[in-house]
Structure 1
Amino acid sequence: MSGPVLAASVRYAADGAVEILDRRVYPFEVSWVRCATSEDVAVAIERMVTQSSGPLFAATAGMVLGAREARHDGPEQAAARLRAVGARLVATRPTNNHIRDAVHAVLAATVDRSGEGPPAGDELVEAVEAAARAHEDGYRARSAALGRHAAGLLDDGTRVLTHCWADAFLIATVEAARAAGKRLEFVCTETRPYLQGARLTAATLVEMGYRPTVITDGMVAAALSDGLADVALTAADRVTLDGHVINKVGTLGVALAARAFGVPFYALIDAPDPQAPTAADVVIERRDGDEVLHALGTRTAAEGVTGYYPAFDVTPPHLVTRIVTERGAYHPNNVKESL
């Protein structure tokens, strides 16, 4: 049986272009956005064609396209071009460090490798393709390990509240729970303004054989008060060394409600960010407020209304029960020990 559709949402076309599954319209449409250049990939990431861990795979593919674009440059010129492509990709979404880490991994293995001059031509393309595959495989392995640790925190029959789309982390957790003979139940927030929870999380869980319940973002406290879920489980776009969880806006509200009603709150991340000692070291992306005035392409607010859209919020350590990484489940105050 093949995995969920969203587990493989970036692919190469026969002619070498990159195709990215358009998560803005999935599951109502299975549409692929064609990217012929590295700049096309950057624009697709900015426009939310892909989200969560999707930008990691888009970034590695963008670096491959960048190497192909530099195929006829000399070594130093090719290196400079590839670094510029990387910088452009990193700038697209500053809060989640998946893109940054993917770009740095590719550069470190190719044009910035120590003791050797930068490759060029076909050698550069082959080196970047190999580095991209290695980084992607490493991420999948880390996600699988994380999923096993997360599943270990869940009993058979646990009712899990999710917020937004946890992507590979959630898929790995569900697969690990299933392998351990545990059957879970799910409640998913719809997650405004792109409805990732209703469209991506819920659709993927249905694909994996579950029948999740969808609630609006404003129903979390009521749902927990009514006993609809036993744990809250979200991904984290970034975790700081002092245990702050940065994730899709609304996560802080989930954590507050969970604390109020005695529900454990677990955050999933492959590892905390060694470059972010505190929350002050993380840039919180501010998106165009007009995005919250629309749902699925239709305006939902009157003309003359303005919107406000911090795409992420920060949940302090005292609201987090455990942070689950590839190396285990840690108290937020000790999460830096997982590095």
Structure 2
Amino acid sequence: MSTRTRRPALADSVRLSGGGVEILDRRVYPFERRWVHCATSEDVAVAIEQMVTQSSGPLFATTAGMTLAAREARNEPPGRAAERLRASGRRLVATRPTNNHIRDAVQAILAATVDGPLPEASGDELVEAVTAAGAEHDAAYWARSAALGRHAAALLDDGAKVLTHCWADAYLIATVEAAQEAGKRLEFVCTETRPYLQGARLTAATLVEMGYRPTVITDGMVAAAMADGLADVALTAADRVTMDGHVVNKVGTLGVALAARAFDLPFYALVQAPDPLAPVIGDVVIEHRDGDEVLHVLGTRSAAEGTTGYYPAFDATPPGLVTRIVTERGAFRPEHVSQHFVEESS
């Protein structure tokens, strides 16, 4: 197990500069270290839609994209500048409707600027304020992820074999860092995660970077891997958690939870907080992407001509299949996850 403290490459995958935003292309990582240049906020929105970045990446892309939007509105009068910023925010929120990271980032930036103390800001004042609000949101996200990681690591026994699904990004990095600080030895099994293979490329590559030698399995091997004793616990991120404890995450997560229940293994889901705007699962929009995406693997068609694809990008795991939902404030039974906010206000 590595004791290195430098964060892995994917923890720094969005870079804001004077000339725009550079986003590390997760569609080809780790085989290529290719950066996609975004000169405008619209370029950022398109990059998010096209899966250049995923998981936590769209949050950081959004805060940077809002800075570009402020720059684009620099020469507008105050009222018009504010509306342009709000319009750019709406465009970014519409890119990926299931995960609430983008929505929350846009709301935080607007609340700190034109919808809050600076309704008449324009020009350099607006750019400076939006840039600062974005940086503050990014830093807070990492701090909350670190807190979440400490709570998650506390649930993992020394020597535990951890099965992951898809790419949990900052949550996984923080959990691994906390486990290392506690001196815990862990092993990892990663589902490859169709159709973009984020588990095989992003999760596994990051774990290797952090000093591990993970085992990669196909999505259909989860139950067999558990039956063969390759996993002691299932650990996934959540793109959103409802106030009644439903876990919405990358499609296939429900299958992992079902297999874990069949083999009496704990299933833990990681999210900074449940979404107060989603009391029940019907309040969450499940994104459906072009079915053609599942007919290809890394740009090469894998299904016969004449076939069609079906691609709900996320699924919902009901509370009864979830052992604990881990937030920045602790580990909650799913039926009690709303207590996260009770703890917050106490």
Q: Work out whether the TM-score is over 0.5.
A: yes
Note if contact 1:112-1:118 (Cα within 8 Å) is conserved in structure 2.
no
Is 1:10–2:14 an aligned residue pair?
Answer: yes
Show structure 1 runs of 4+ deviating over 4 A: none
Equivalent residues in 2 for 1:68-79, closer than 5 Å? 68-79=71-82
1:323 to 314, 322, 325: 325
Whole-angstrom CA distance in 1 between matches of 2:87 and 2:125: 19
Equivalent residues in 2 for 1:89-108, closer than 5 Å? 89-108=92-111
* Structure-2 residue corresponding to 1:193: 195
Equivalent residues in 2 for 1:48-63, closer than 5 Å? 48-63=51-66
1:249-302 Cα deviation digits (max 9, x unpaired): 000000000000000000000000000000000000000000000000000011
Whole-angstrom CA distance in 1 between matches of 2:37 and 2:170: 23
Whole-angstrom CA distance in 2 between matches of 1:139 and 1:16: 25
RMSD, aligned α-carbons = 0.7
Aligned residues: 337
How far did 1:39 drift? 0.3
Which secondary structure does the structure 1 equivalent of 2:308 belong to? coil
Gaps (5+ residues) in structure 1?
none
* Structure-1 residue corresponding to 2:161: 159
Amino acid of the residue matched to residue 35 of structure 2? W
* Structure-2 residue corresponding to 1:137: 139
* Structure-1 residue corresponding to 2:344: none
Q: Kindly, what percent of the aligned residue pairs are identical?
A: 78
Which secondary structure does the structure 1 equivalent of 2:23 belong to? strand
How far did 1:226 drift? 1.1
How far did 1:118 drift? 2.6
Is 1:308–2:310 an aligned residue pair?
Answer: yes
Amino acid of the residue matched to residue 60 of structure 1? T
Note if contact 1:145-1:326 (Cα within 8 Å) is conserved in structure 2.
yes
Whole-angstrom CA distance in 2 between matches of 1:177 and 1:61: 31
1:149-203 Cα deviation digits (max 9, x unpaired): 0000001100000000000000000000000000100000000000000000000
Whole-angstrom CA distance in 1 between matches of 2:183 and 2:104: 35
Give the alignment's TM-score, normalised by structure 2.
0.97
1:181-229 Cα deviation digits (max 9, x unpaired): 0010000000000000000000000000000000000000111111110
Amino acid of the residue matched to residue 170 of structure 2? A
Give the alignment's TM-score, normalised by structure 1.
0.99
Amino acid of the residue matched to residue 65 of structure 1? L
Note if contact 2:15-2:21 (Cα within 8 Å) is conserved in structure 1.
yes
* Structure-2 residue corresponding to 1:22: 25
Amino acid of the residue matched to residue 313 of structure 1? D
1:215-247 Cα deviation digits (max 9, x unpaired): 000000111111110000000000000000000
* Structure-2 residue corresponding to 1:277: 279
Whole-angstrom CA distance in 2 between matches of 1:275 and 1:134: 23
Amino acid of the residue matched to residue 218 of structure 2? T
Whole-angstrom CA distance in 2 between matches of 1:233 and 1:169: 10
How far did 1:316 drift? 0.1
Whole-angstrom CA distance in 2 between matches of 1:98 and 1:3: 21
How far did 1:16 drift? 2.5
* Structure-1 residue corresponding to 2:39: 36
